[in-house]
């Protein structure tokens, strides 16, 4: 009788899956959190609508001179404020995008590690299944042989 052999049990010794967003949130500095907040705020419809309302009020007040002409047409002061806002907002948004890029790279690496581990486990499962197929074939052969021996007439 052939001795049946099976591979060693697969060791599931791998670190747990980590949430990249939580790790980055825990490691974020105050400046990084502020950059993310500014990027979120400036990239919202509330900001666009609020800014449009503010600029419209600015233009209406200066054109009609309800208060005084502190910024007459062509609105040089308003242009200065908008340029200053853009000058400060653009680098802050770039900082937030750099953080998002880092998050994407970490998530891609985390996905790669998970896929690599899954491939290793699938390979172990397939090896185990191959060993079981060999064992089942051997058991089937032995059962067939026992049944054949049982049905043979005995010479006594």
**Tens digits of residue pLDDT in 81-101:** 999 999 999 999 999 999 999
In this predicted structure, what is the pLDDT of residue 20?
A: 84
CA-only gyration radius of the chain, Å: 36
Q: Which of 148, 102, 134, 104 is nearest to 3 (CA)?
A: 134
Distance CA 146, CA 137 (A): 14
The domain limits of the chain are 22-151
- pLDDT at res. 35: 93
Tokens for 22, please give them: 């939580």
Per-residue pLDDT, 90: 95
- CA 38 to each of CA 34, 50, 95: distance values in angstroms, whole numbers, following the listed order: 6, 15, 10
d(CA 134, CA 140): 10
Mean pLDDT for 146-150 is: 88
The listed range with the strongest mean pLDDT (17-21, 68-72, 116-120) is: 116-120
pLDDT at 28: 92
Q: How confident is the model at residue 156 (pLDDT cuts 50, 70, 90)?
A: low
Question: What is the tens place of the pLDDT at every residue in 25-78?
Answer: 899 999 999 999 999 999 999 999 999 999 999 998 888 876 777 888 889 999
Q: Is the Cβ–Cβ distance between 12 and 75 less than 8 Å?
A: no
pLDDT attached to residue 128:
92
For residues 107 and 94, give the distance between their C-alpha atoms in angstroms, rounded to a whole number.
20
Predicted pLDDT at 153: 75
């Amino acid at each position: 009788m052939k001795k049946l052999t099976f591979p060693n049990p697969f060791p599931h010794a791998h670190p747990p899956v980590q949430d990249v967003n939580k790790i980055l949130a825990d490691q974020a500095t105050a400046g990084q959190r502020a950059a993310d907040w500014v990027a979120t705020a400036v990239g919202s419809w509330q900001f666009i609508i609020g800014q449009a309302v503010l600029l419209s009020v600015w233009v209406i007040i200066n054109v009609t001179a309800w208060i005084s002409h502190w910024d007459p047409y062509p609105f040089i002061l308003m242009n200065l404020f908008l340029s200053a806002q853009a000058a400060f907002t653009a680098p802050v948004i770039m900082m937030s995008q750099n953080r998002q890029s880092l998050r994407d790279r970490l998530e891609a690496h985390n996905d790669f590690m998970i896929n690599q581990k899954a491939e290793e486990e699938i390979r172990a499962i397939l090896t185990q299944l191959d060993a079981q197929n060999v064992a089942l074939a051997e058991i089937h052969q032995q059962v067939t042989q026992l049944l054949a021996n049982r049905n043979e007439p005995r010479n006594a």
